[in-house]
Amino acid sequence: MAVSDPAPAASAVPRRILPAIALAQLAGGSLWFATNGVMDELQRDWGLADSALGTLTAAVQLGFVAGTLVFALLTIADRFSPRRVFLACALAGALINAASLAIPEKLAPLVAIRFATGFFLAGIYPVGMKIASGWYQRGLGAALGVLVGALVLGTALPHGLRAIGSGWAWPTVVLAVSAIAAAGGLLMHIAVPDGPFLARSARMNPRALALIWRDPALRAPAFGDFGHMWELYAFWALVPLIVATRLSGPTLSLASFMTIAVGFIGCVAGGALVSRFGGARVACVQLAASCLCCLAAPWLLAAGPVAFALWMLIWGMTVVGDSPQFSALSADAAPRELVGSVLTIINCIGFALTAILIHAFAQAAATWPLDWVLPFLAIGPLAGLAAMRPLLR
Helices (H), 278-322: 279-295, 297-300, 305-321
Distance from C-alpha of 345 to C-alpha of 339, rounded to nearest angstrom? 10
CB 22 within 8 A of CB 150: yes
Average pLDDT in the 111-124 region? 97
Kindly list the distances between the CA atom of residue 160 and the CA atoms of 106, 157, 166, 238, 255, in Å, as whole numbers in the listed order. 26, 5, 10, 16, 9
pLDDT band at 305 (very low <50, low <70, confident <90, very high): very high
Distance from C-alpha of 206 to C-alpha of 16, rounded to nearest angstrom? 38
Amino acid present at 86? F
Distance from C-alpha of 31 to C-alpha of 156, rounded to nearest angstrom? 10
pLDDT band at 274 (very low <50, low <70, confident <90, very high): confident
Average pLDDT in the 314-323 region? 95
Query: Which one of 71-85, 150-164, 191-205 scores highest in mean pLDDT?
Result: 150-164
Q: What is the mean pLDDT of the chain?
A: 91
DSSP 81: -
Amino acid present at 211? L
Q: Tell me the pLDDT tens digit for each residue of 52-102.
A: 999 999 999 999 999 999 998 888 888 889 999 999 999 999 999 999 999
The pTM of this model reads 0.91
pLDDT of residue 7: 39
Distance from C-alpha of 356 to C-alpha of 130, rounded to nearest angstrom? 28
Distance from C-alpha of 201 to C-alpha of 78, rounded to nearest angstrom? 7
CB 118 within 8 A of CB 60: yes
Q: How many CB atoms lie within 10 A of CB 121?
A: 26
pLDDT of residue 139: 63
Distance from C-alpha of 123 to C-alpha of 125, rounded to nearest angstrom? 6
SS3 3: coil
| 310: pLDDT strictly greater than 50 | yes
pLDDT band at 141 (very low <50, low <70, confident <90, very high): low
